[in-house]
Amino acid sequence: MLARTLAVWSWIGLLAGVSCVLDGDPVDWSRHGYLVKIVAKLPDKSVKLCTGALISGSLVLTSADCVVDSETSKDLEEFAVITLIKKHKRRLYGLLVEKTEKWAVLRIDTVPTDKLCPPAPQPPRVLRLNQKPSLKSSSTFYVPISQILKSKCYLLGFKTEDDASNFYRQKQVYRLDLYQLMEPRSGDIFYRSLVKENYTACFEDTGAPLICNTPESGTLLVGYFQSLGRPISPDAAELTTPISTLEEACSGAYEMNFDLVSDDERLVKLIEKEDLGPFVDIYHKCGFVNSESS
């Protein structure tokens, strides 16, 4: 493990630029310890940055786009996952354990349950899915899409940094309270939220958790940020004009696109296979079982 970890950090400094949340309400990362940074090594020795969320003591959920080389469509193999638990930042080796056409899950060294489920009033450092975990057979409890669309939802992401050297030092996290989610357009699969007052995610927020305060089921991780919607310019010259900064590249977005995981049995089966015992323990000790809806 040590040799493998050292290999990860030999390339982690090659990040050319970071483009995360442009604006939002600042929050304390240590109070949202489920939020993680993901760095993947590309074949040309550069790196790809994304965001993810702890869904158990050893599993991180992110977008499938974060684990694929966009040039070759091949799965990437080397990942670093950066966490902040109790104000202690750690860089962990990530192993891809499953990828679907939508989401991916990485395995990391297990974070102890007592660190993920601290005493009240500290919030849990793991996100709750709409699952009823059981050592015999886990299942989901149904959360209608209509309920999610009526919920108050928000996105958490990291501060935009054009200078990659600042990325690992800074711990600034922003919360974006979203406009009401909208259903996908005809022929599309993404749920959407309009960008307001330039409060938007950016490219490396891909995989950032979409959290909704649902009226009947409480606070849940229901999906993740996937991409930005940008207006198509009728001006051909504008389409070929280079964008000088990362901020400019994202500030023209008019909506954010999201994938949902609230009705995905494959995720349930994966957790059963990879981390069921600790997962059940976390749901009891973090108080998630008592807040589940039947």
Count CA atoms within 13 Å of residue 101 on its CB side. 1
Pick among 3.40.1350.10, 3.40.50.970, 2.40.10.120, 3.40.50.300: CATH of 2-291: 2.40.10.120
**Cβ pair 98, 105 in contact under 8 A:** yes
Residue 121 preceded by cis peptide, ω within 30: yes
Instruction: Write down the pLDDT at residue 140.
Output: 78
Q: How many residues would you count in the chain?
A: 294
Within 8 A by CB and 6+ apart from 85, the residues are 30, 33, 111, 115, 116, 125
Domain ranges of the chain: 2-291
**Token code pair at residue 154:** 């928000």
- Pairing mode, strands 209-214 and 152-158: antiparallel
Q: How confident is the model at residue 290 (pLDDT cuts 50, 70, 90)?
A: low
Q: How confident is the model at residue 2 (pLDDT cuts 50, 70, 90)?
A: very low
**Cβ pair 67, 40 in contact under 8 A:** yes
Q: Is the pLDDT of residue 283 over 80?
A: yes
Q: How many CB atoms lie within 10 A of CB 168?
A: 17
Q: What confidence tens digit (pLDDT) does each residue in 204-249 have? A: 899 999 999 999 899 999 999 999 886 654 444 443 444 445 567 7
Q: Is the pLDDT of residue 58 over 70?
A: yes
